[in-house]
Structure 1
Amino acid sequence: MSSSKFSKIAQIIEERIENGEYLLNSKLPTHRVLADELNTTPVTIAKAYKLLSNKGKIESFVGRGSFVCGESNLNSAIKASEMEETFNFSILQPCLYKNVVPLQKAYQVASEKLTASLIGYTEHTGHENHREAGVAWAKYFGLTGGSVDNTLLTNGAQHALSLLIHALTKPGDTIAVEEKTYPGTLAIASLSGRKVVKVSMDEHGVSPEALELVIDEWKPKLVVIVPSHQNPTGITMPEVRRRKVAEVIKRKDIWLVEDDIYCFLDERPIPAISNFIPEKAFHISALSKALSPAMRCGYIKAPESHVELLNAHIRANIWLSPPINYIAATYLIESGEAFKIAEQQRKTAFERQTIARKILPTIQCRSTGYHIWLPLPLHWTSERFVAEAKNRHVIISSGSYFDATGHESRHVRLSLMSISSEAQLEEGLRILQNLLESKITTFPF
């Protein structure tokens, strides 16, 4: 096979990327499909993809396929913007303007509480009273069994996820995730050489039967589950489903990583899955979604058998999380202010969900959380809809970013909280509704 043949095919693919036929971050055809189209062999396509990968035009993931390079799915799903005229529906965060004053006070208190012992190294990976605050935060929203001895401090939930995946698995191992899942988990797995396998979901979340089949077939080392206001579907697992999932995990003897950072949005506390299998579960809670993304305070409740292992990983990577954040967080939790802020954010989310359902009647999941999982009409793909919304200064997240296998999606995710005012929220939602009703799929810039 001549080198010119796969080079020419690589040029054809690159031209398709440049003219928009293959959109940024979109999944490329499989080797077999493109080989049939271009009258060549899958091996030739593989060499063309390799050439484009070396040039930084595409990136490939084991088990997921090849994608046009733009930004990583994580970067694309969460896009910060300083432009006031932009309607940013991509960031899952609280309405921050409501939290500025209490956080200002908390950090002022923290600065006054600084002592030599707090700004130096500590024997453990976090001060005891800061871990006590983490126990209180998680217990308030449904976690049982937490203590200062089994609770660890991390630099937020993302760090906690990365820490657990690296500590509990090794390169080449398989991780089970929800079929629609947080792209941050996929990014960790991809960068660390872990394989990902999806678990089917229904209207109540992860299917216990599907989880059992995946465990039997793929032998994953752990499963990552978001039980409340799941990102991106918005599904909250009822207690009955949580118990059934726990039974499967216990019977099959794998680890559970329960990413429970949206638990504060539940109307009333729901028992964590970890409550039913404390010896097999690692429970993550954090303050970024209730208080501020800048307050990088995450808490892991771990089985006692793994506390020292996780402490060793924390010391090897960061030694300890910055105490200044935890001083402020502990003040907010101990004073009760953190719970008041969380409740206000929950009420704001409910109000914004009500607004969204009036403007976008096609919303299916009855979530009361920060975001909605919006189905698209058949004539739209998520990538094209995202592109056309951007032409109208509306930033949204393509559903394909959240697909565990990288497949195209007929959904987009909309965060309702990052836009500061309800009037601006309504304006942005009406732009999207008009776009949904449009019968053509290309528009002038």
Structure 2
Amino acid sequence: MLLKSPWSPRLAGVEGTLCDRLVASLSEDILSGTLSGGDRLPAHRELAWSLGIGTGSVTKAYAVLERQGLIRGIKGRGTFVSVGSARRDALIDLSTNTLPLMLTDKLLSRTLSAISRRIDSDHVNLHPPAVGHDEHRRLLARWLGRQCVEACPEQLILTGSGQQALWLAFDILCGGRGIIVTERIGYSGALALARHRGHPLCAIGMDVEGMCPEDLDRELRDHDSNGRRRLVYVTPTVQNPTTRTMGAARRQAIVDICRRHATPIVEDGVYTLGNDPSLPPLVHLWPEGVFHVSSLSKSLSNGLRLGVLLAPPQGIAQARSALEAIPMTSSPVDYALLEEWVSNGVADSLRDSLRGEALRRNNLARDILKDRPLLTDDSAFHLWWPMPHARAEALAASALERGVSVTAPNAVRTDPEDDESGIRLCLGGPSRAEVERGLSVLAQLTSDG
């Protein structure tokens, strides 16, 4: 009788395909020692059924793990954790793009005490309007103004995260299966969302400033959309994952092309720690054609789940309809926290501290990975290491064997066949000491250049 597997099946909460998420969860549990050498893994069909995924995803994940030396298959017996791969060292996660932990228990306790004396009970007791309470919309408009995005509160739609705001913008503009035109290397969360909703993706070439105007114009002019609606999704400031930022002339060129082809833009503006007032957001250049997405989880605190969509007036009615079916508003406590921190100066202090920490971690990365062709921005907690796709996959697998996870190279490719790829390294989540150890592993793995 075969022994039951001791593993509790799960999919890691990381960006990527179902295969990537299964690889990540099993790798974490093997490398952390949750699974020991010799432990049996569930059979392919059994695991697929328990996770609600296809057997093919399980087969591919097991093949990846076997190539990495973490598991081994024995004909007629099953699949087992490799004895030599089980280790007690904690996995260093450079794959998830989060901010360092800056809030102390004392600060949070003091803030909660302050807001408990003045929070509006109606915001807790009453069902919120579909697009959010007016008071909260005014608060977010003030916050966006501090990030150089002037916004009318009546044009703001409040959501529970920037990802939800993206979903809403995609749905309003493209419905279920419209075409999303975007950078050839892009934000994995947006690409995964587009694929989940059935949107075909169109990859546009990039240069040192991000999306290339000539390629965009050619795509919108020459390629028939077959009656499907199209939008252009772009991140003009600290693009994820490449950290590229568009200059003022490039921003105007992108807007002029989209206006000429009557193609709306979804502007991702979540990375605001390094905002340059001289670089206008796209929504200022074309207010009637740009939907601007922002959030606070990449500029203030990971746990502050406040997203916002700045929409042209004609998009508000469509948004209300969608939000009646799937409400997205955040907890009123989150808004009370933001209001308190804005009023007492904590928000500005936090952002200054985050900018300083981002600079320190970027300098650390440039020092350890010197002579590598890194793309960095001193205000970002992620960096980009371009390389051919096959090499990126090999480096990611080798790093995982050494206890360091990086963003899956497949997750950031708009075109799955594109050979232009690389490694995104996220520097914010682990401690600075862990970041240093993880980067040192990558340096050792690529010491031959």
TM-score by length of 2: 0.76
- Which of 401, 407, 414 in structure 1 is aligned with 2:425? 414
User: For residues 280-429 of structure 1, what are the structure 2 equivalents within 5 Å?
Assistant: 280-318=289-327, 320-361=329-370, 362-368=372-378, 369-376=380-387, 381-407=391-417, 408-421=419-432, 423-429=433-439
CA–CA separation in structure 2 for the residues paired with 1:278 and 1:184: 25
CA contact (8 A) 1:94 1:417 kept: yes
The offset of 1:320, in angstroms, is: 3.4
**Matched residue SS, 2:299:** coil
Aligned to 2:5: none
1:56 aligns with 2:54: yes
1:125–1:311 Cα contact (<8 Å) kept:
yes
In 1, distance between residues paired with 2:328 and 2:365? 44
**Correspondence 1:203-222 to 2 at 5 A:** 203-216=208-221, 217-219=223-225, 221-222=230-231
Relative to the length of structure 1, the TM-score reads 0.76
1:314 is displaced (CA, Å) by 1.9
Q: Which residue of 2 aligns with 1:237?
A: 246
Aligned to 1:282, the other structure's residue is in SS state strand
Q: Percent identity?
A: 26
Determine the C-alpha separation between the residues in 1 that align with 2:53 and 2:191. Answer: 23
User: For residues 24 and 387 of structure 1, what CA distance do their matches in structure 2 show?
Assistant: 14
Match for residue 158 of structure 1 among 156, 163, 183: 163
Q: Deviation string for 1:68-95 (max 9, x for gaps)? A: 458xxxxxxxxxxxx8732211121111
> Using the alignment, how far apart are the partners of 1:190 and 1:321 within structure 2?
25
3-state SS of paired residue (1:275)? helix
Identify the match of residue 185 of structure 1 among 190, 206, 213. Answer: 190
Aligned to 1:266: 275
Cα deviations across residues 317-354 of structure 1 (Å, max 9, x unaligned)?
11633222122122223333222212211121111111
Deviation string 1:347-399 (CA, Å, 9 cap, x unpaired) is 211111111111112133242211111134x7962222111111111111133
Q: Which residue of 2 aligns with 1:10?
A: none
2:242–2:376 contact (8 Å) kept in structure 1: no
Residue aligning to 1:135: 141
| Residue in structure 1 matched with residue 91 of structure 2 by the alignment | 86
Aligned mates of 2:19, 2:393 — CA distance in 1 = 9
What is the total number of aligned residue pairs between the two structures?
371
Residue 101 of structure 1: how far off its partner (Å): 4.8
Seen in structure 2, the aligned counterparts of structure 1 residues 143 and 379 have a Cα distance that, compared at 3 Å, is closer
- Give the partner amino acid of 2:179: T
Deviation, structure 1 residue 202: 0.6
The CA deviation string for residues 276-301 of structure 1, in whole angstroms up to 9 with x for no partner, is: 00000111111001222321101111
- Structure 1 spans left out of the alignment, 5+ residues: 1-22, 27-51, 60-66, 71-82, 440-445
Contact 2:389 2:409 in 1 (8 A): no
Cα shift at 1:239: 1.6
Q: For residue 89 of structure 1, what is the amino acid of its counterpart? A: L
Q: Is the 8 A contact 1:109 1:328 kept in 2?
A: no
1:87-126 correspondence to structure 2 within 5 Å: 87-98=92-103, 101-119=106-124, 120-123=126-129, 125-126=131-132
Residues 151/381 of structure 1: CA separation in 2 closer, same or farther (3 Å cut): same
Amino acid at match of 2:393: E
Q: Which runs of 5+ in 2 are unaligned?
A: 1-17, 22-47, 63-87
Task: Please say if residues 142 and 269 of structure 1, whose CA atoms lie closer than 8 Å, have aligned partners that are also in contact.
Answer: no
Structure 2 match to 1:78: none
Report what 1:176 is aligned to.
Answer: 181
8 Å CA contact 2:410, 2:416 repeated in 1: yes
Indicate the RMSD between aligned Cα atoms, in angstroms: 2.9
- Please list the CA deviations of residues 383-431 of structure 1 after superposition, one character each: whole Å capped at 9, or x if unmatched: 221111111111111332100012355411101111223x332222111
Q: Distance in 2 between matches of 1:140 and 1:211?
A: 31
